[in-house]
Amino acid sequence: MAFRTSFRSMATSSRQSLKIGMIPADGIGREVLPGAKAAIQALGSSLPKTEFIDLLAGFEYFTKTGTALPQETVEVLKNECDCALFGAVSSPSRKVVGYSSPIVALRKKMDLYANIRPVSSVAPSPEEKPQVDLVVIRENTECLYVKQETQTVGENGKEARATRLITERASRRVGEMAFKTALARPRKHVTIIHKSNVLSITDGLFRETVRAVPTLPGVNGAYDSVTIAEQLVDSAVYRLFREPHIYDVMVAPNLYGDIISDAAAALVGSLGLVPSINAGDTFVMGEPVHGSAPDIAGQDIANPLAAIRSAALMLRHLGYGDGADRIENAVDEVIREGRYLTPDLGGKSKTSEVVSEVVKRI
């Protein structure tokens, strides 16, 4: 399964403790992150002594303090934590003076340059619906998410512009992550997602840089077994719904990766099932793909499985593969059994009930 993919391990045999920053942020983030914590705690002595450090961030925190991401949160993550889990943020769709998304800022400040989002079927699919087993690797620090926007008034009225940044360094790093991920998977296939037929300079640089990863100095044929394909982003979305089985590892600039991974979640039943990690060379932060879902916040019906799976991905990235397997197997059993599912999956269970069932199986 995609969730068992081995990513770059940051574990060391001398690790005596594990300090995990907990940033629930907004909405259902506060309801699903305790489930991830409970799953980790259920592993018991198979992990080093584990400490959870509660940290603040989010739009609600901004409305109270004028700051979405306190500097203290960043400093604690950098100086005290080995990894982190993030819940969800309620970034408004309208412009709010002084506000900027804390998760976007965290990715940049912690240099978490790759967002790794596995999407995989668990329950058998109907005959007309193919199985899904893919990983979207999204560049995490630039593209339009540099948030350099201006608005002026011209002869056509208001004119809004946004700067899109694609660099060789960022494209190379996320490309290397994609090839390393593909190398650890059975199919060993990478699809580069771009729109360089229109954006020939920015997407062209991304495409060319990722394609060149196998030829980098020091690689020495390590990726000879990995096949490379390309797909324009619009046709990639179309084929994702028609032929998801053709994809293995999809690597994309920030915006495309965000859209593609959310679309892929529809193929497996719910955003509430899809996990991710934000990964860098020295730090990793788990984050469920879903948003803060204010319409259901506080009702104990949010799906905790994406957050729990994100905790497992985080542990696997740190080198705790056995613990990650236990969590992922427990989640898969709950899904296949079908007795304890939240409303987004057609069930009637509460968030707390699903967490209890997963913990029992761990």
| Residues annotated as catalytic (active site), given as ranges | 145, 195, 234, 258, 262
| SS3 of residue 208 by DSSP | helix
> CA angle, 241 as apex, 234 and 317 as ends, to 5°?
90
Q: With helix as H, strand as E and coil as C, how does the chain read?
A: CHHHCCCCCCCCCCCCEEEEEEEEECCCHHHHHHHHHHHHHCCHHHCCEEEEEECCCCHHHHHHHCCCCCHHHHHHHHHCCCEEEEEECCCCCCCCCCCCCHHHHHHHHCCCCEEEEEEECCCCCCCCCCCCEEEEEEECCCEEEEEEEEEEEECCEEEEEEEEECCHHHHHHHHHHHHHHHHCCCCCEEEEEECCCCCCCHHHHHHHHHHCHHHCCCCCCCCCCCEEEEEEHHHHHHHHHHCHHHCCEEEECHHHHHHHHHHHHHHHCCHHHCCCEEECCCCEEECCCCCCCCCCCCCCCCCCHHHHHHHHHHHHHHCCHHHHHHHHHHHHHHHHHCCCCCHHHCCCCCHHHHHHHHHHHC
Rounded to whole angstroms, the Cα distance separating 354 from 272 reads 12
Distances (CA, A) of 196 to 140, 165, 206, 239, 310: 19, 14, 9, 18, 32
Helix (H) or strand (E) holding 356: helix 351-361
> CA angle, 243 as apex, 242 and 247 as ends, to 5°?
140
